[in-house]
Amino acid sequence: MHPESYIRPPLIHGRKDYLQITEDICRPVEAKPSRSWWVAFSISAAAMLWGFFAIGWTIWFGIGTWGLNRTVGWGWDITNFVWWIGIGHAGTLISAILLLFRQKWRTGVNRAAEAMTIFAVICAALFPVFHMGRVWMAFFNLPYPNTRGPLWPNFNSPLMWDVFAISTYFSVSVMFWYTGLIPDLATIRDRAQKRWAKIFYGILSFGWVGSAKHWQRHEALSLVLAGISTPLVLSVHTIVSFDFSTSVIPGWHTTIFPPYFVAGAIFSGFAMVLTLMLITRKVLKLEEYITIDHIESMNKIIVLTGSIVGLAYLTELFIAWYSQNPYEQYAFANRALGPYWWSYWSMMMCNVISPQLFWVRRLRRNVWFTFFMSIVINVGMWFERFVIIVTSIHRDYVPSNWSMYKPTWVEISFFIGSLGLFFTAFLVFAKLMPVIAMAEIKHILKTSGEEHKRNQLEKLRQQHAVAVTANH
Amino acid sequence: MKEKKYWKGLEELKEDPDFIAQRDREFAEELPVEELWGSGAWKQPQSRRDFLRLMGFGVSAAAMAASCRIPVKHAIPYVIKPEEVIPGKALWYASTFVDGNDFCPVLVKVRDGRPIKIEPSTTANISAQSPYRFLFGGTSARAQASVLSLYDLTRPHFPTVQGNEVRKENQADVEQELKSKLQQISARGGNIVLVTGTILSPSTQALIRDFLKAFPGSRHVIYDAVSHAALAAAHEKWFGVYAAPGYHFEQAEVIVSLGSDFLGTWLSPTEFARQYVQNRKVSPERTQMSRHYQFEACLSLTGANADERAVLKPSQEAVAAVALYRLLRGEPAPSINARADALLSRAAADLKAHRGRSLVVSGSNDQAVQEIVAAINLMLGNYGSTLRMDLYMRAHQGNDAPVETLLRELKSGAVHALIFYGANPVYDHPRGVEFAEAIPKVELTLSLNDRIDETTVLCTYHFPDHHYLESWNDCSPYHGLYLMTQPVIWPLFRTRQAQETLMMLCGINGDFYSYMQRYWEQNIFPLQSSFTSFQAFWDNAVKEGAVEVRTTAAVRMPEAIDVSGATEAVMAAAQQANGFELYLYEKVGSGNGRYANNPWLMELPDPISKVVWDNYLCISPKLAKELQVEMDVAEQRSDLVSVTLGETTLTLPVFIQPGQEDHTVAVALGYGRTHAGRSGNNVGVNVYPWVTFNGQHRQYHASGVVISKTGKKHELAMTQTHFSFEGRDVIQETTLNRYRNNPHAGKEKKEHLKEIWAQTLYPEHPLPAIRWGMSIDLNSCIGCGACAVSCQAENNVPVVGKTEVRRIHEMTWLRIDRYYSFPSEKGFVTKEEDYDEIVDYQQVQVVFQPMLCQHCDNAPCENVCPVNATNHSSEGLNQMAYNRCIGTRYCANNCPYKVRRFNWLDYTTADVFPWNEPWKIPTLNIEDLQMHDAVTRMVLNPDVTVRTRGVMEKCSFCVQRLQEAKLEAKMQGRPLRDGDARTACQTACPTDAIQFGNLREEGSRVKKDHEDARAYYVLAELNTQPGIAYLKKVRNTTEENISAEQAQPAHG
């Protein structure tokens, strides 16, 4: 345990002891779901079911029910895929990289962020799967032993790399998240009154008794998983960006994509974490654990990554001009001034201009403004992917096949369904699991808690008084 | 003898009742159903064993259901195999496609008894010196598509009387009744009229003479939907033969066309195209090229290929003829417009310098104009070289005045019996409504048309004709040339050859086959000397499908043609023109409406507008601005306008067309059918009512058109929505002069890229023996689209319908890109952003580029497919494994040429389920073209997989043909020769613009082309290493600004 200066703002507000933390965090799990929870759940579940219907429609009649065409082979499907994958980045960044950088404020948000990651990756995975013309043959993507030669997938294809990158990322994220959950689940189990809860949490907590050995192993495993996760944060979106950068299409074929995509992913991931946490802390009354300082820290990351993304946009424009490649030049001129100009300028407004407002401390610490910005950034990042995908291919090399793309209700419903799935999953998670890592937050109570800091200060003051008296 | 019987036991022998009862039971013991049911044993908790058993059953049932993926439909083996039929091996029959005035000698590919593909004839009977040789070796889109019409389920299935089926057993009675009625009418001196289209068949003509003899008082009226009668009449007047001359564009070094679309729709366009390109092919050895001047009102396929083009009003076409005539005689010429005047004087000078090696043609149906044009050609000494009256054309014999007379008689009730054969005046005559009113009043009406068309539905009797692939027939399109049509399939429906119905009526026994044989024996056999026995001659004619007899018709050659009267007439007529003018044209694919029910032709994009499934009012951009009408190309939507000419007002969508005269509107004939068939009905608008009659001939242009906006919008479907090539290196062109100076011009700018290309991550494909490759000569390609239809037929490419084309879901593997560029003060405008610089949209340069899979050696599609469904063959083909494809569409995104086609919906109905076809989708209003029934599916090529929904497809270089060629060579024990393997697009091309072969073979045609000075690869800077080389277009123009040469060099 690293001692921490009392000057640093506390990460846990209020007079808390270990029991109080347990009470605060277990309350939503143990209480009956509120009316607002049911309302939110019903809306999300309805959206999810509508999305499933759209998926069924797609499988039944074919991709032709979407607005894609000869020229634009990917539209909302891959836009949504990249958007969700990007959102999924914050969780791992918080759990792994911030852990390695000893950012203690991460303990307040890491659990929810990791859960969000997992749900976002599930939502993301829906799109490349169900956008296939023959989804029932999706298993051809897997390198399984077979009697066709054997016939292997094409290891040159970035889509193939995606399959590995995303499945690895998903499994490691789930492991990391679940490992962290075990002590907390055991706490809930120990407090459970109802029979089903005892059994349910009993199974989920894997027989955790909190022995020293358990804690030792738990810590070791967490560290190992953090080590594995760290490169994944960078690799997943790098590989997703390869889908575009290894192609020949002007606007896609860009070496800047890996860092640009990773920054964009973190940018959108933090925005989504903020969207969720701002609601959660309010609804579950967890303001003392997810403090305004947490929010400010995240806003600082947003302004950093947003600026990186803005730099990337400008670099692209510069390189397009500097390259003197007529196709590249046209592609970028077409983005800004072509028929999809509105998507480009929406992206620029949302991602580059508006996050700059976070240089102002007051705005960084304003909950409502932060919430608004988190939505704006998510919209902007969605447009970024739309701009990259659709405006690049709708007018590529041979002008005779230039075309326009408009989504149909099926694609839109699929997207709404993915939002429904995400929020349904998050609501269920918030009801069944502790949204804040109890065990981890207890770790920092004695270093970063407000109560602790006050005591520490009191002690110092007394020592000082004693010293002054002694001196006199 | 009683059969010996064995018994199993004494009980059986004794026929013990217990035993018998026991024997007849299926199970030796009662099944314990009752017991179990009664005892409630079902409710008992299931044992582990039961669970495993049920699960095993469930899993295996699911596995079985899942593995039965593609249902096999109707595979019927031969019980007795016909001798010549080997399953899987195609038979080829020489035949002739004849449909109205369209004719083309063909080879019919028959697989397992089904004709599936039309190929150009390759007969040995036509020598390399034959004047008819250009009729052979190429096909039109219509000939290619004709095989689909055979399987059209809306063809009549049986003869009818007043719309009711004539049963087989009653047919003889009905025929007798019909015959006696006809005899009665004839006996009492009634008026019997036989209305036919042009009869190209000499034996049918003989039969009609027999018919007219058998029924005194009968006469024959020849009626062509789109008339070229003025041309024939002009030649009758001065040469004594009512016929168009035989044209020989291959002899012409200067061609001047006054509104004649001779490459697209005029007289015999496929043949003319083949003649035309003979003087258009350039190489370092042959740097000569014909020069083609075009004067026209709207941009035609021919105008798009012209070296020099000027626009004028349709009424001024006649003035242009007068002007040209006077310029050639050195007299002052009437003025038209600045550009046309300048071009006319240049054309006149050019013509003068090429006496006897030039040709002037006119598309006018005004006899005076045609006389002036004939006078010009005569003056230039072209008759005998580029025009042959001694080898005159026999097509387009229709005459217009007798049809008007007939209508007058019909209305006055003077006609007692009316027989239609290949004529549909109710639809395609300008006064079709009057025909429709008059026909039911005629005492006896009989239709022999092959469809229940607009005219046939009004007739009492209908004895439907065969399709040409079911018939014996002959065809003599030119004096001295006889072509043979032979049946290649047993009639699909209860139809009968029209000639046999006529024979029945006039009491000639036997079938038409023997009638025709007799005719040939008596009339054609004596004309030749190669064969001494008729049987040998006949056998050879059937085998080869063509006979050429060296005779020339005796024609009077006039000393000079006096055009003073004609000149006055046309100048007077031109004076009368006022206001907006209207020009009516035929489309290259769908023609005069005859092919309205052929989905392949209806979905063939118009070569110029790229619109499918519609006709529309072409107007110039300037006029559009004046009228404040708009066309949104990206949305494929335009304003509907109401157009009035005379008493007829029709509502049409506008199409803003560059290259169109500013005060002329143009619209295609042949649409708006009501009885064409299931897919052709109510497509577009019928504009035949706008055709006028000048007292001699029907006119296809008029003046005094009033146009007004309706405020409504119309949805068009087009396959290309961007018109400029954005100055990109995709298109390369030059002028003849520049080409002569430096044939390699433009090549050096990509030399430096070779170093970069050498550095690649991926190893090169070895391709030791064969690297299939193609070359496409942009100078020869006229953009007609025959290749596209041929590809569709060969490769089972589905038709998707208008709605899906609008959604940019068309499936064609081969498309023809058409780009415009415009001269401006600063040079040529090729980029859309510079369109404001365009001074005059009337002046346009057009380039056509067939675009198909380039079979790149460094294919961007191949390395992105996650499942290796598209990969490289050891012969350089970029191949698709359809059943490996999972449909991520990544390959299509990454294809810089965008030639990959995704099966968005279940277009082919080859999917597992019958309930998810595109037209069953509730939210998309996709039309059911009904091409999925068992009969229409007979046209499918069994050598090519029918692709299911959700997989990617694209040009395969006709891999099935390549395999066949290799096997053939192997079986003959010889190496593959150049020309053994030919793709479907290559064989169909009438101008030989497409060459195919092995790039590894020394001296192969395609290798030579790839090494040609003009050869370039599209997007070579991407280092895709395409297998298709394009040969730069060369324009023989004096205007040295050529759009694609001023383009900036592209970097990789």
* Residue ranges per structural domain of chain B: 229-393, 578-718, 751-813+856-1040
- Return the percentage of chain B with pLDDT > 90, whole number: 65
A164 occurs within a structural domain: yes
**Taking chain A (472 residues) in consecutive chunks of 10 residues, what is each chunk's mean pLDDT?**
73 82 85 89 96 95 93 94 90 78 79 90 94 92 86 91 91 91 92 91 91 91 87 89 93 91 90 89 83 89 93 93 91 93 94 92 92 94 94 93 94 96 93 86 80 82 81 69
Among candidates B799, B816, B429, B370, which has minimal Cα distance to B592? B429
What pLDDT digit, counting tens, does each position of A234-262 carry?
889 899 999 999 999 999 999 999 999 99
Say how far residue B64 (Cα) sits from the centre of its chain.
45
Q: Count of CB contacts below 8 A, A vs B?
A: 195
Rg (CA), chain A: 24
136-175 of A, contacting B, C-beta below 8 A: 137-138, 140-141, 151-154, 156-160, 163
Interface test with B, best of A398, A406, A410 (most B CBs within 10 A): A398
Among candidates B197, B220, B239, which has minimal Cα distance to B101? B197
Rounded CA gap, B516 and B512, in Å?
A: 6
For residue B1041, give how far its alpha carbon lies from the nearest alpha carbon of chain A (Å): 22
A398 occurs within a structural domain: yes
Across all residues in chain A, what is the average pLDDT? 89
Q: Could you tell me if B809 lies within 8 Å of chain A, comparing CB atoms?
A: yes
Q: Which residues of B touch A400 (CB under 8 A)?
A: 720, 722, 725, 815, 817-819, 849, 851
Across all residues in chain B, what is the average pLDDT? 88
388-427 of A, contacting B, C-beta below 8 A: 393, 395-404, 408-409
Which CATH code is given to the segment(s) B229-393? Answer: 3.40.228.10
CA distances from B682 to A29, B615, B642, B675 (A): 66, 11, 18, 9
Angle, CA B726 vertex, CA B784 and CA B888 arms, to 5°: 80
Element (H, E) at A18: helix A18-30
Interface test with B, best of A146, A249, A400 (most B CBs within 10 A): A400
- Highest mean pLDDT (candidates A286-290, B55-59, B622-626): B622-626
The per-residue pLDDT for B60 is 75
Coil, strand, or helix at residue B708? strand
Q: How many CB atoms lie within 10 A of CB B48?
A: 7
User: Quick one: pLDDT band at residue B3, thresholds 50, 70, 90?
Assistant: low
The per-residue pLDDT for B144 is 94
Q: Which residue of A has its CA nearest to B920?
A: A61
Higher-pLDDT residue of A376 and B123 is: A376
The per-residue pLDDT for B1050 is 38
Number of domains forming the structure of chain A: 1
Q: Which residues of B touch A392 (CB under 8 A)?
A: none
Among candidates A332, A327, A275, which has minimal Cα distance to A299? A275
Taking each helix axis as running N to C, give the angle between helix A438-448 and helix A450-471, from 0 to 180 degrees, rounded to the nearest 10.
20
Rounded CA gap, B302 and A114, in Å?
A: 67
Under a CB-based contact definition with an 8 Å cutoff, are residues B314 and B580 in contact?
no
The per-residue pLDDT for B36 is 54
Residue among A70, A138, A397 whose CB faces B886 most closely: A138
Under a CB-based contact definition with an 8 Å cutoff, are residues A450 and A289 in contact?
no
The per-residue pLDDT for B77 is 66
A170 occurs within a structural domain: yes
- Dmax of chain B from CA atoms? 124
Rounded CA gap, A142 and B787, in Å?
A: 40
Q: Which residue of A has its CA nearest to B831?
A: A399
The per-residue pLDDT for B65 is 58
pLDDT at B39 over 70: no
A319 occurs within a structural domain: yes
What pTM does this model have? 0.89
A8 occurs within a structural domain: no
Q: Which residues of B touch A149 (CB under 8 A)?
A: none
What pLDDT digit, counting tens, does each position of B690-711 carry?
999 988 899 999 999 999 999 9
CATH of the structural domain B578-718, one choice from 2.70.70.10, 3.30.420.40, 2.40.40.20, 3.10.110.10: 2.40.40.20
Q: How many CB atoms lie within 10 A of CB B341?
A: 18
The per-residue pLDDT for A147 is 85
Test B888 with A156 for CB contact under 8 angstroms: no
**Sheet containing B444-447, strands listed edge to edge, beginning at the edge strand earlier in sequence:** B164-165, B160-161, B461-462, B444-447, B417-421, B192-196, B218-222
The per-residue pLDDT for A149 is 81
The per-residue pLDDT for B1045 is 52
Rounded CA gap, B263 and B273, in Å?
A: 5
Q: What is the DSSP letter of B693?
A: E
Higher-pLDDT residue of A456 and B247 is: B247
Among candidates B858, B851, B855, B823, which has minimal Cα distance to B837? B823
Higher-pLDDT residue of B829 and B118 is: B118
The per-residue pLDDT for B75 is 59
Under a CB-based contact definition with an 8 Å cutoff, are residues A114 and A172 in contact?
no
pLDDT at B1041 over 60: no
Q: Which residues of A touch B810 (CB under 8 A)?
A: 70
Q: Could you tell me if B182 lies within 8 Å of chain A, comparing CB atoms?
A: no
User: What is the DSSP pairing of strand B901-902 with strand B952-953?
Assistant: antiparallel
Show the domain range for A117: 18-144+153-448
Test B906 with A141 for CB contact under 8 angstroms: no
Rounded CA gap, A384 and B484, in Å?
A: 65
Rounded CA gap, A361 and A364, in Å?
A: 5
Q: Could you tell me if B916 lies within 8 Å of chain A, comparing CB atoms?
A: yes
User: Quick one: pLDDT band at residue B833, thresholds 50, 70, 90?
Assistant: confident
Q: Which residue of B has its CA nearest to A152?
A: B867
- Give the start-end residues of each E strand in B223-357: 244-247, 254-258, 291-296, 308-311
A302 occurs within a structural domain: yes
pLDDT at B971 over 90: yes
Which CATH code is given to the segment(s) B751-813+856-1040? Answer: 3.30.70.20
Rounded CA gap, A286 and A379, in Å?
A: 27
Coil, strand, or helix at residue B288? coil
The per-residue pLDDT for B959 is 95
Q: Could you tell me if B721 lies within 8 Å of chain A, comparing CB atoms?
A: yes
**How would you class A202 by CB atoms within 10 Å of its CB: exposed for 0-12, middle for 13-18, buried for 19 or more?**
middle
Element (H, E) at B640: strand B637-645
Say how far residue B995 (Cα) sits from the centre of its chain.
21
The per-residue pLDDT for B1047 is 42
Q: Which residues of B touch A327 (CB under 8 A)?
A: 728, 1050
Residue among A70, A158, A403 whose CB faces B864 most closely: A158
Q: For tokens 């400010």, what's the residue?
A: A296
309-328 of A, contacting B, C-beta below 8 A: 323-327
Rounded CA gap, B697 and B691, in Å?
A: 10
The per-residue pLDDT for B45 is 59
Rounded CA gap, A120 and A85, in Å?
A: 6
> In this predicted structure, which of B422-431, B521-530, B1037-1046 has the lowest mean pLDDT?
B1037-1046
A288 occurs within a structural domain: yes
| CB-based contacts of B1037, cutoff 8 Å, min separation 6 | B291, B307, B308, B735, B736
> In this predicted structure, which of A287-301, B34-48, B555-569, B781-795 has the lowest mean pLDDT?
B34-48
Test A157 with B890 for CB contact under 8 angstroms: yes
| CB-based contacts of A370, cutoff 8 Å, min separation 6 | A274, A278, A295, A299, A363, A364
Among candidates B470, B547, B462, which has minimal Cα distance to B513? B470
- Return the percentage of chain B with pLDDT > 70, whole number: 94
Among candidates B881, B885, B812, B876, which has minimal Cα distance to B1024? B876
Among candidates B144, B126, B145, which has minimal Cα distance to B135? B126
Rounded CA gap, B805 and B814, in Å?
A: 15
For residue B154, give how far its alpha carbon lies from the nearest alpha carbon of chain A (Å): 28
Q: How many CB atoms lie within 10 A of CB B1013?
A: 17
> For the residues B945-962, what does the mean pLDDT come to?
94
